[in-house]
Each structure stands twice: as C-alpha cells, then as structure tokens.
Structure 1
Amino acid sequence: MNMTHSNEKKDAPAIELDNVSIRFISPDGRATVALRDFSMTVRHGEFVAVVGPTGCGKSTTLGLITGLIRPTLGSVKVMGQTVQDTDPRIGFVFQSDAVFPWRRVLDNVAAGPLFRGMARNAALDLAQSWLARVGLDKFGQHYPHQLSGGMRKRVALAQTFINKPEILLMDEPFSALDMQTRTLMQDELLKLWSEQSGSVVFVTHDLEEAIALADRVLVLTARPATLKRVYEVDLPRPRVMEQVRYQPQFIELSRQIWSDLRQEVHIG
C-alpha cells in the first residue's frame, strides 16, 4: 500500500472529493463523462447518503474513494491524504453478496482478521462473537447457500464490521431484500454504526432509506453528475426505521428532496 498515515491532518475530513471529473473511454474510442466538477465532504463519524437518477455515477464516487478509480481531474483525499491505493481502513458492502460460497459462514467472517495476520483461533473466536452480534451465532457451520438473503446480508455486515473500518462504503446493499427484511437490516446497520462511529457513504436509489439512515443526503444531477444540493437530516438519533418514516420532519424532507430528484430523473 502506498498511502502513508503518519502525516495525516488531524482536523481533515474523513473523505474529501474536490472538483472531480471522470471521463471513460470506450473500446471504440468514444468518451463518456460520468462525473463533472463533483465535490463532497464527509466528516468523521458522519453518515452520508448519496441519491440520484439511475446511471448518473453514484457508484463511481465509491470507486474514487477506494482508489479503484482515478479521477481525470480534481483530487480525492481520505483522512487528509491523496488516495494512491486501496486503504485497509475502508470497508465495502456491495449489492451482491461478497462471500466465499465454498467457505462456512464462520470462516467467511474470520477472513478479514486472518488476512491481517491474526492467529487462526483468535480470528475464529472474534468471528463467532460477531455472528452472535448479528443474530447468527447458531449458523457458523452453515454455507452461504443454506442461508436466506437477509441472513447472508448479516454475514456481510459482520464480515465488514469485524475489521473496524474507519470508513464504510455501501452500494445499495439492501436493494434485493423484501421490505420487512430490509427494515430489519437498516436497523441492524444503524446499531452497528453507532457502536463503532465510523464514517459511512451509502449509495441508494431509495429516497426514504437515505433520509431515514443519514445525517446528510447528497442529491446528484443526471449524468454527467455533479452535486445538486445537500440536505441536512435533522431527525433525532437513535432512529427506529418503522417509526421515523411517520415523523412530520421526515415527510416534509422527503417531499423536498423528491422535488429536486424528480427533475433530474426526467432529464436522465
């Protein structure tokens, strides 16, 4: 890893994208601009949701933060340092299950600590404690295909939080779940996040999910995406998902953000 941490600015944001533009060149030589003059800042311990029209470049912002995508113009910083490579302090939860299908659930959750050099017995003990925290302590010897979608997503959360990420990037992680399971997983995420206090960037197409989870909601324009508006979510924490949606502030904020987003959806 090329990024050094010793000279980081203590007062720097956890994440900072400054006037970033991304241009992709297709195999036939055509250029596509995914982001244009895009800026965003995420403070330490903050939960930020990103919404925008389908295909506008929401997931591209996560790729920039991980270092897997390099900006054509502009700068991307994590903890005050320009991103040069992948950073072990960043965790990622995908829309699809990022589990090893041939490994038991317990081994899947222990994979991160083992990769970081922890002794096997210690890693397995830690993994078992995390399975208990997400309600899967009796399923450690199962394989992923033996679990429901919601259970596999709990495995993914345990798999990520066991590494104590300082930054958590989530790309529509609950979109494939039914509404009841999705609500349970949102509550689970908020509980785990409140215990570790890392920074979260949560990409979603679900406006209500964004408002219910986040401290701020960033609305992107149609492609090429730039930041259209930032909404502060002034709803008290801790939040319970099945309750927060009925609060008057939530309903009014949902109306305001949808008015902004609907214009971009029509353009897209």
Structure 2
Amino acid sequence: MVPPLIELTGATKRFPSGSGSVHTAVRDLTMTVQPGEFVAVVGPTGCGKSTTLSLVSGLQPPSAGRVRVNGEDVKSIPDGVGYMFQTDAVMPWRSVLENVASGPRFRGVPKAEARAQAVDWIARVGLAGFEKYYPHQLSGGMRKRVALAQTLVTKPKILLMDEPFSALDVQTRALMQDELLRLWSGSGAAVIFVTHDLDEAIALADKVVVLTTGPATVKDVFEIPLERPRKVEELRLTEDFRKLYADIWESLRSEVDKAREKGASNVA
C-alpha cells in the first residue's frame, strides 16, 4: 500500500486572540492525502479550512499533533508545494510572462529557460498572445489563468488551493474548474482544495472531507466514484452527482446550522 503523501494526525492549532484568550482553529484533525489524489475540504464559514492548508504548507506549525509530508514532519515549507490563494497573487508591476517566469527564476532556473517554461504554461492555460499584458489589462478569469500557470509552472507535487475561484462569475468559474481538471490530469500532483461550494467540491474531487464547525475536526469523508475525465457542467446534471450532493449536504447542513446559531448568539 502506498504511504500517504500528506498526513495530519491529531493536528491542533491555537492562536492568541485580541482579548488575551486562546482561539482554537482546528482540533484533533486527522486526514490523509495520497499521491495524485484530489481532496476537497468543505465546512462552515470560519471553521478552520484555510488553517488546515497553512499547516500542510508549513506557514503555521501545529500547536499539538503531527503534520507530515512525504513521511517527514513539516517544520518549514516542504519542497514541491504550490499554493493558490483566493485573492490574486500576481504582481501588478510585472507582465504575464514575468509573473509566470518568477517561480522558476526564484528556484535558480536561468532566465532564458524560465521564460521558455513560462511561455509554454501561458499557452497551456489559453493565454498565448497575452505575454506582454499586465494584470490590470486582464479580466478576472484571465488573471486566475495567470495565477494557475504561475503555480503549475514549478511542477508542484502538492497543490494547495484556497477558494481560488470564489470571486469569479458562475460561467467563468465553471470554465476554470474544467481548466484545472485538464491541467491537473496526469500531473501526479496531490491537491487539497478548500471551497464553500459543495457542487465544486464534488465535481472536482476524488474525496470530500467535511469539517465540523470551529474548532474544526473531520466529521465525515466521502469518496467520489465519478469517472474521469469530467466535464463540470455535464456532471452536475447526472443522477449520481445529485445523489452524492444530497448525502454530503446532509452531513454538512447540521454544521452550517450550528455555525449560524453560534454567530447569532455572538451578535446577541
């Protein structure tokens, strides 16, 4: 049996709060991700989904428990990790070409080779001809394509994605979901994809992890036995998709209700 590429065992993360108390974001979080596996993480707003990515990326150390990547405890940013954030991480003062080439250049790739890799990935994400454009000249969907190329050009073994398409309109979002699946297919990269959108989670993932209301822990794990390759909009019309949605929503709904009640009581 292949050992997990990513393994969280009883992982807990606490932060000091502004009032001098301690806020626990995630508690006793245990989950695994295999090489090449696409895992979507869903849960109520503010439950600790992004904190989970921070633990895997090494941006935050666990307060308790263990986080391991490739069999090693995570003590800093592991090699081969790509991170795509909710907000654009493109540099506004650099062209599309310069943005995408920046990752290889940072890793010591010679300038000419880095630019050649960038040109290749710009074409792969459908932006050939836009190499000299700047981010302010692009639409939101085009900037997301730049960010995707910027992340994938380094050939990450682990791809961490924190609601990367949430700000896009419905049509552009569906296009980007299909684009992600096309580019990820055959790459061998393991993906942890955080989203509030259950449709998105099911359409993309091999399994969906449902987190409880904060402090988050794993409530349920659902395998997604839908065949690949997938076309997102076509998939959503199938009976298998609707059945999976109903089953996962049944688990998620109670946590969303708890989070809503908790928020209402805090306001009161």
The TM-score range, normalised by the shorter chain, is over 0.9
1:1-268 equivalent positions in 2, closer than 5 A: 11-268=2-259
Q: What's the CA shift for 1:12?
A: 2.7
**AA matched with 1:187:** D
Distance 2:174 2:2 in 1: 35
Aligned AA (1:66): S
Q: Which moved more, 1:191-200 or 1:75-84?
A: 191-200
Q: For residue 11 of structure 1, report the CA deviation from its aligned partner.
A: 4.0
Counterpart of 2:15, as a letter, is F
Task: Spell out, residue by residue over 1:89-128, the C-alpha distance to the aligned partner (whole angstroms, 9 max, x if none).
Answer: 0000001000110001000000011111111111111111
Matching residue's letter, 2:184:
W
1:114-172, Cα deviation, whole Å (9 max, x unpaired): 11111111111111111111111110000001000000000011001100000000000
| Divergent runs of 4+, >2 A | none
Structure-2-length-normalised TM-score:
0.95
Distance in 2 (alpha carbons) for counterparts of 1:232 and 1:248: 16
Number of residue pairs matched? Answer: 259
CA RMSD of the aligned region, Å? 1.0
| SS class of match (1:21) | strand
Q: Is the CA contact (8 Å cut-off) linking 2:36 and 2:191 kept in structure 1?
A: yes
Name the amino acid aligned to 1:73: A
Q: Aligned partners of 2:11 and 2:156: how far apart in 1? A: 25
Q: Which residue of 2 aligns with 1:7?
A: none
Offset from partner CA, 1:47-73 (integer Å, 9 cap, x none): 000000000000000000011111111
d(CA) in 1 for partners of 2:25 and 2:66?
A: 15
How many Å separate the matches in 2 of 1:87 and 1:74? 18
How big is each residue's C-alpha offset from its partner over 1:165-191, in whole Å with a ceiling of 9 and x where there is no partner?
A: 000000000000001100000001001
C-alpha distance in 2, partners of 1:67/1:134? Answer: 28
- Say which is worse superposed, 254-263 or 24-33, in terms of deviation: 24-33
Q: Equivalent residue of 1:168, what SS? A: strand
